[in-house]
Amino acid sequence: MLTDEYDDCWLRYDRVGDAELRSSYRTRCAHVFASTEGPELGVAREELRMGLEGLLGREPHLWMHPPRTVDGFLAVGRRERMAVIRAAVDEAEIESLHDEGYILRSVEWEDKDCLVVTGSTDKGMLYGTYHLLRHLAAHRPVDDLDIVEEPRTEERIVNHWDNPFRASVERGYAGMSIFDWERLPDIRPRYRDYARLLASVGVNGIVLNNVNTQKPDRPGANEAIAGKEGWQLLRSKNLEKVEALATVFRRHGVRTYLSVNYAAPILAGDLDTADPLDAAVEAWWADTVDEVYKHVPDFGGFLVKADSEGQPGPYDYDRNHAAGANVLARALEPHGGRLYWRAFVYGSHEDRAVQSYETFEPLDGEFRDNVTVQIKNGPIDFQPREPVSTLFSAMPETNLACELQITQEYTGQGVHACYHVPQWKEVFEFDTRADGEGTPVKNLFMHDEGEGVAGVCNVGDDPNWTGHYLAQANLYGYGRLVWNPDLDTETITDEWVRQTFGNDPTVVETVAGVLHDSWPAVLDYTTGRLGLMHMMYNQGDVLENHYNPSPEEWPGYHGGAEDGIGVDRTASGSGYAGQFRDPVAERYESPETCPRELLLFFHHLPWEYDLDGTTVVQRLYDNCFEGVEAVRDMRDRWNELEDAIDEKRYRHVAERFDEQLDHAKLWRDTLVSFFHDHADVPDERGRVPPDDRAG
Ligand code: GCV
């Protein structure tokens, strides 16, 4: 049910097959009395028209007044404007509702069976509309509906690492950029469909361009891209393009943001410094921001990667990150804009894990109110598994956002199935003890304005949007989990499968089961089971970057050597464990109490260190073999669906699983050989080093 040749993702709205259910839906939804005020309500009406036509098998009748001659109807609008809604919802309920919240309720009104969708804002009602359609697509009953929903997280943003004018996407595995910057401000229908997908899961902000706004200064970097870099978006003629996109997203309740280069006063202006304490720099940012707001009056703000991986920053002028951020924040403040300032810095330290805490913790309380420090979920870089970042519990006086990666840079990219919702859930639920027992990570960035979650988006120009059909579940799950971090993974998965692949119980069970097993499989063959990480190829701009196994390349990340494996991050090593609060720090300090899944992240242990009757090296061998079997099993289960889902999607995923299986074997064989070569310990099952029989 998207409007062009692209895949519908979860907005398919397939016809409800069960006649009784369809008839109960028709009673309440075949006639729609929906308010016409406001752009978001226009989107809601259009979505209802498309969605109900698909689900009910005929276009709904959209009324301009309450229908009197029918058995029931759906009403979408404000309480004060519609008698049917007043009959269903108290004024006090609306008054206490969050701006983006909504109420869905069944009600009998003038002898008619009605459904109402209402809220205190148009945006809330748009979210309520999507909730209703999701409910119908999952074949849930509507006769006694009573749902009151509010977002638990204020800022729910996607970050695009798209390179404007180059059309490429850094760490993008779904083709070129969805945004055609050369043709903008011409609008493609696809932008609207993308905005619908985002709104349907409650995303309310989008950063349009890559945080790397300048050509990376490294050997082999493509010279042709000079002059086509992200910082150029601040130029007037390009702001018209931003304005066009913002117009589309605004109607769907999504605010637009830009990544900017710290040295923009030099690059895009004519200053010879970007020193944050220089008056001319301050004035330049103020003027530039004024110009942006002329184009996009509800502009969300900027995202900045500073002093990191070759991007300029305040260190270039001997200023700290708070001084660096505050100059941009002051420029944004009068317009209600926000500055997202990334905490992803490393460089001078031997163990990069410790650096962002050391850089930012001393600055707590020094950032202006409209600054949000954006922290990756872990201290390294979106690995299949890492501990949570210690910064979350170290900055109580600062607005924080958690950065997740929806795109699968280190978890098989566009080829492997790896469902990230369980991993994100684990991060959100981790008890930091920051404020005593029961201070999960999610509590440190939820609730307040200016706090939230940013997800590095996996969308590209591929017809299926995300490269791998199953990766659509990561985008969907991201939005749903961020809206409400208390939702359980099973609920999110079930919703996605039903909307995407239909309600056949075998299909639902199989697809949900495959998703459920996918992250553990990746953990097995990359050995994240014991906390190893970053054993991937890591060379410049080549295709296999962060995809193929290459454990010899960066021994510092895993510490594999003759005497053992793992990295000492305790007090006798880099000290990362000590950045946690007690008793978490204490637990991590000792290999006896450190959770298995992080053991080798925190400890360098002998290969034959005892693990409840087995050894580290044997456990690693076993994990690699088990990972391959887990992929084989997922592939076989998927293959059972051949006649149950459409050929196109079936084949696409089946072929991806074949490729994943081959690649998991490559991981297994590379890693077990590496472990064997260094440990010189035989595999007790005789499978290592691998030979052709390994299969
Ligand atoms: C946008 C890692 C990735 C880079 C990314 C960087 C970041 O290093 O490999 O592609 O750059 O993180 O998050 O800034």
Look at the domain 19-149 and name its fold.
Chitobiase; domain 2 (3.30.379)
The helix/strand/coil state of 147 is: strand
Mutate to test the pocket of ligand 1, among 309, 341, 404, 456 (most ligand atoms within 8 A of CB): 309
Cis bond leading into 185, ω under 30°?
yes
**Distance of CA 105 from the midpoint of ligand 1 (Å):** 45
> E strand or H helix at 240, and its extent?
helix 236-250
- Residue type at 354 in one-letter notation: V
Q: How far apart are CA 48 and CA 332, in angstroms?
A: 37
Asked if residues 459 and 465 have their Cβ atoms less than 8 Å apart, the reply is yes
Tell me, what DSSP letter sits at residue 385?
A: S
Q: How far apart are CA 258 and CA 436, in angstroms?
A: 37
The helix/strand/coil state of 37 is: coil
Asked if residues 600 and 568 have their Cβ atoms less than 8 Å apart, the reply is no
Q: What are phi and psi of 302, to 5 degrees?
A: -115, 155
Mutate to test the pocket of ligand 1, among 171, 410, 545 (most ligand atoms within 8 A of CB): 171
Tokens 């926000």 belong to which residue? Answer: 338
Cβ neighbours of residue 595 under 8 Å, at least 6 residues apart?
587
Tell me, what DSSP letter sits at residue 304?
A: E
Tokens 């945004």 belong to which residue? Answer: 179
Closest atom of ligand 1 to 171 CA is 10
From 154, 333, 381, 669, active-site residue: 381
- Residue type at 179 in one-letter notation: F
Cβ neighbours of residue 287 under 8 Å, at least 6 residues apart?
none
Name 34's bridge partners.
Answer: 76
Closest residue to atom 11 of ligand 1, CA basis: 212
Q: How far apart are CA 571 and CA 590, in angstroms?
A: 10
Work out whether strand 31-34 and strand 72-76 pair parallel, antiparallel, or are unpaired: parallel
Residues 517-544: tens digit of each pLDDT: 999 999 999 999 999 999 998 776 556 6
Cβ neighbours of residue 649 under 8 Å, at least 6 residues apart?
469, 501
Q: What homologous superfamily is domain 522-567+604-694 in, according to CATH? A: Alpha-glucuronidase, C-terminal domain (3.90.1330.10)
Tokens 């050989």 belong to which residue? Answer: 673
Name 148's bridge partners.
Answer: 103
Tell me if 307 CB under 6 Å of ligand 1.
no
Residues 355-370: tens digit of each pLDDT: 999 999 999 999 999 9
Q: What is the CA radius of gyration of the chain?
A: 26
Residues 373-392: tens digit of each pLDDT: 999 999 999 999 999 999 99
The helix/strand/coil state of 664 is: helix
Name 302's bridge partners.
Answer: 258, 339
Q: What are phi and psi of 85, to 5 degrees?
A: -75, -35
Q: How far apart are CA 533 and CA 385, in angstroms?
A: 7
Tell me if 338 CB under 6 Å of ligand 1.
no
- Residue type at 472 in one-letter notation: Q
Look at the domain 155-490 and name its fold.
TIM Barrel (3.20.20)
Structure tokens at 522: 């990746």
Q: How far apart are CA 54 and CA 49, in angstroms?
A: 9
Structure tokens at 183: 């043709």
Domain boundaries of the chain, sorted by first residue: 19-149, 155-490, 522-567+604-694
The b/e string for 27-60 (b: 16+ C-beta within 10 A; e otherwise) is: bbbbbbbbbeebebbbbbbbbbbbbbebbbeeeb
Cβ neighbours of residue 123 under 8 Å, at least 6 residues apart?
40, 99, 100, 204, 253
Cβ neighbours of residue 6 under 8 Å, at least 6 residues apart?
190, 193, 463, 464, 465
Active site residue 309: yes
Largest CA distance in the chain: 83
Closest residue to atom 12 of ligand 1, CA basis: 381
Tell me if 305 CB under 6 Å of ligand 1.
yes
Q: How far apart are CA 9 and CA 464, in angstroms?
A: 7
Closest atom of ligand 1 to 403 CA is 13
Asked if residues 65 and 83 have their Cβ atoms less than 8 Å apart, the reply is no
Q: At what angle do helices 189-200 and 236-250 cross, to 10 degrees?
A: 50
* Low-confidence residues in the chain, pLDDT < 70: 1-4, 215-228, 540-544, 692-694
Closest atom of ligand 1 to 305 CA is 14
Work out whether strand 371-376 and strand 399-405 pair parallel, antiparallel, or are unpaired: parallel
Tell me if 344 CB under 6 Å of ligand 1.
yes
Q: How far apart are CA 619 and CA 557, in angstroms?
A: 19
Asked if residues 626 and 632 have their Cβ atoms less than 8 Å apart, the reply is no
Tokens 């729609």 belong to which residue? Answer: 32
Structure tokens at 259: 């990544």
Q: How far apart are CA 66 and CA 55, in angstroms?
A: 22
Tell me if 161 CB under 6 Å of ligand 1.
yes
Q: How far apart are CA 613 and CA 479, in angstroms?
A: 42
Cβ count near 225 (within 10 Å) = 15
Asked if residues 607 and 564 have their Cβ atoms less than 8 Å apart, the reply is yes
Q: How far apart are CA 147 and CA 365, in angstroms?
A: 39
